Structure 1
Amino acid sequence: MGTLAWGVGLAAQAAAHVDGSVRDIVMAASGRRVSEIEWDLLMQIRPEAKG
């Protein structure tokens, strides 16, 4: 749940930068991290390989 919350927070920061309400390079950089969080979440829900 912590990873999901972190991803939602990063997405909100990126959205604030894109819509112009907060013009800060940190907010723009945060948006680049969302895909990493998506990957982490996918790896947490994948079925384990059996063999």
Structure 2
Amino acid sequence: MRFFEEAFRAYQRYRRQARTERLIGAMPLEIRKDIGWPDRNERIKIRHNQEY
């Protein structure tokens, strides 16, 4: 049972993160720069570097 609870929590975290990225990604570029949100390509580079 614990496995399903942990899997469900991980899925919820994933959905919250995806929702946040969509909301912030929909903001104008100037606002995203002001809050320090990296562009999509920068996030991909960061993720790639963390994997290796």
State whether TM-score is above 0.5: no
What TM-score do the two structures reach when normalised by structure 1?
0.41
Q: Considering Cα pairs closer than 8 Å and 6+ residues apart, tell me whether 1 or 2 has the greater RCO.
A: 1
What TM-score do the two structures reach when normalised by structure 2?
0.40
